[in-house]
Amino acid sequence: MSKKAILTAPFVEEMVEVTSNLYRLGWDERNGGNITYLLEEKEVAEYLDLQSIQRTIPMNFDGSALRGRYFIVTGSGKYFKNVAKDPALNLGIIRVAEDGENVELLWGYHDGGVPTSELPAHLMSHIARLEVDPENRIVMHCHATHLLAMTFSHELTSRAITRTLWQMCTECLVVFPEGVQVLPWLIPGSNEIGEATAEKMKESRLVLWSFHGIYGAGKNMDEVFGLIETAEKAAEVYTYVCAQGGIKQMISDEQFELLAQQFGVVPNPEFLEIGVVQ
């Protein structure tokens, strides 16, 4: 039975669309940013021969917890602006090998390329998020401009940044009630930052890397892109507010309580001054 054309696969089309949007918004300049998308074996099997391994690529990480799992991943050194023109050059579909130390390339990177250098950080985050939410499928990293800027000018704690973002747009507490976790500057691509991000991912779907960018996770592309764009919009509003002379009034914690009740969410109590109404 012949396979369907891989470029028509919904997961390839989603990767093309989201990378194009991230570049359009200026959040993924040059080869900044990366995405990993966990796929089901049956959906990959509609398009590829699962026994046809193009190459085996080593990882500096023990991914045994994900052995046999499939991902479509942006490539190392690849520009998001070029994904739509040539998906097979800039994307790859991989399977974590049984030894957990390598990945098997099934499609893509046709110039001899490899997955993003932050693959270990992504896989660590997938492992952490799957423990919290078995339906988690996406980990997305980008350099959202105003969020990045806030790490230079704002008190650099998870509580302080979360509260400011919540206060800038009413929808923020509803969209990410668990808040945003913040990391100090760490070397990108290292296992250290991967481990630190994964630990924070157990508490939140958004992790802000100081002076670098943001990580988002969730069940699908819309959820993760929406998380990041909502936080980024709030950071943009904060930038305008600062330029207009600073905050003079804001949403109160009592109003956050009412908002939480209205929309049936439970805000992180560590980030509120008063108790949360269940």
Give me the pLDDT at residue 3, please.
Answer: 77
Q: Please give the average pLDDT of every successive group of 10 residues along the chain, which has 278 residues.
A: 86 98 95 96 97 94 95 97 97 97 97 94 96 96 97 97 97 97 92 93 97 97 98 98 95 94 95 66
Contact 119, 69 (CB under 8 A): no
| Ligand-binding site membership of 212 (annotated) | yes
| Spatial separation of the C-alpha atoms in residues 271 and 273, rounded to whole Å | 7
Catalytic site residue from 14, 104, 118, 232: 118
| Spatial separation of the C-alpha atoms in residues 142 and 78, rounded to whole Å | 13
**What CATH number was assigned to the domain covering residues 121-278?**
3.40.225.10
Give me the pLDDT at residue 1, please.
Answer: 57
Contact 225, 140 (CB under 8 A): yes
Give me the pLDDT at residue 12, please.
Answer: 98
Amino acid residing at 245: G
- Reduced to 3 states (helix: H, G, I; strand: E, B; else coil), residue 38 is strand
Q: Is the dihedral of CA 73, 78, 80, 84 positive or negative?
A: negative
| Ligand-binding site membership of 126 (annotated) | no
Residue 69: count other Cβ atoms within 10 Å of its Cβ: 19
Catalytic residue status for 118: yes
Closest CA to 209 of 257, 152, 255: 152
- Cα torsion for 74, 203, 159, 275, to the nearest 10°? 150
Vertex 203 angle, CA 199 and 204, to 5°? 105
Q: Which two tokens stand for residue 143?
A: 């350099």
**What CATH number was assigned to the domain covering residues 1-117?**
3.40.225.10
Give me the pLDDT at residue 2, please.
Answer: 66
Amino acid residing at 184: P
**Global pTM value:** 0.93
Which contacts of 160-164 are long-range, i.e. CB under 8 A and separated by 24 or more positions?
A: 161/208, 162/268, 162/271, 163/271, 164/234, 164/238
Q: Which two tokens stand for residue 220?
A: 């699908």
Give me the pLDDT at residue 278, please.
Answer: 45
Ramachandran region of residue 6, left (φ > 0), alpha (ψ -120 to 50) or beta? alpha
Domain ranges in the chain with CATH number 3.40.225.10:
1-117, 121-278
| Spatial separation of the C-alpha atoms in residues 130 and 149, rounded to whole Å | 30
Q: Which two tokens stand for residue 144?
A: 């959202």
Q: Which two tokens stand for residue 154?
A: 């704002």
- Reduced to 3 states (helix: H, G, I; strand: E, B; else coil), residue 14 is helix
Burial class (CB in 10 A: 0-12, 13-18, 19+), 240: exposed
